Amino acid sequence: MARIARLRLSMTISILLTSIIFAAFLSVIMFILQLPIALAFVATLFFIFFQYLIGPSIVKGATHMRYLKAGENQWLESMVNELAKKSDIPAPKLAIVPDDTPNAFVFGRTTADATLAVHEGLLKRLRKEEVKAVIGHELGHIKNKDYLVMTMLTALPLLAYWISWGTFEAARWSNKGSSRKEKGDFRAALFIVALVSYIVYIVTLLCVMGLSRLREHYSDAYSAYVTGQPRQLQSALAKITYGLSLSPKPTTGARSFYISDPAMAKQEFQRIVRRKDAYDLDRDGVLDERELQLAMEKEAKSTWTTINAWFSTHPPTFKRILLLREIENEMSTGRYTDDRMYAQI
């Protein structure tokens, strides 16, 4: 499929671009500090491998999830097995997160040991057809190995940020040097390293975030294909965004794994509320379906939304719903086939 090849190419380019930028960054840093370059690359590889190993444990600890026993939720188990079989992937292990917000995510080291975690709020607030659409989205991530790529790739901007913070603090408190000039030169070098590290952090983060948003669109399209009901995911995304926007809980470090980013959901909902009068065309105090659709189209095209999305792990819900509507329209024509699964992206 041409479009899935595009996703893989985008992943490869993002990984190579981020790695090249980071490699050049390490070389410059080691040159400035007069340290062996090989040592920096070995340390980076070790850091990535370390994150790959402990990543699942961090997610488990941060979400307080628990694994479901066989037969504990027969409907969820059978539905996941059905979609996994249709997707030609091993059925993931199922877990429940004791959280009343509607959300779900997948994580793991390999496709065979992947875990699908579902929030209690998702099962309570969404209809079964909507839950199925969300599960289809998450299986799309497993199918394309998104979680594995993102776990390893996000290590690079994180490491650049830590180097920036560490060298900045070291420069503030440094007393190295037998003379004032030597001491000043060393502190200046540390400040330069801190500045360069922060710039690299921003650039590599933009690369990673761009790939993260793209993989969400692909998983949305995959859900539409595997369930045959894009409208159910549209409805689910709207409910999830609304539910997350009302949550008083702070966002966690695992937000990039979720089907919807809690922080972004709050911003999207608040922006619609602030501009409600502009979108309420008949002035009845309520946004009907047509008015809401027009609002979503305008928000999706706004400069503010575009710039804000650069630093977001997920595309705006407006854009995701509009993409699903395009897929739904194509399905209604009877031209939607396997090889056109990602044609609208």
Task: Give the amino acid at 275.
Answer: R
DSSP 3-state of 269: helix
Sign of CA dihedral 145, 249, 278, 302: negative
| DSSP annotation of 257 | G
Q: Which residue has the tokens 């007393």?
A: 175
Which residue in 77, 82, 130, 138 is the catalytic one? 138
182 catalytically annotated: no
Does residue 119 sit in helix, strand or coil? strand
Give the separation between CA 268 and CA 314, rounded to whole angstroms.
Answer: 12
Q: Are strands 104-107 and 66-67 parallel, antiparallel or unpaired?
A: unpaired
Taking the C-alpha atoms of residue 314 and residue 259, their distance in angstroms, rounded to an integer, is 8
By 3-state DSSP, what share of the chain in percent is helix, strand and coil, each rounded to 5?
70, 5, 25
CA end-to-end span of the chain, whole Å? 13
Q: Quick one: tokens of 4?
A: 């899935």
Task: Give me 114's structure tokens.
Answer: 């992947």
Residues 6+ apart with CB under 8 A from 111: 89, 90, 142, 145
Q: Are 186 and 244 in contact (CB under 8 A)?
A: no
Residues marked as catalytic:
138
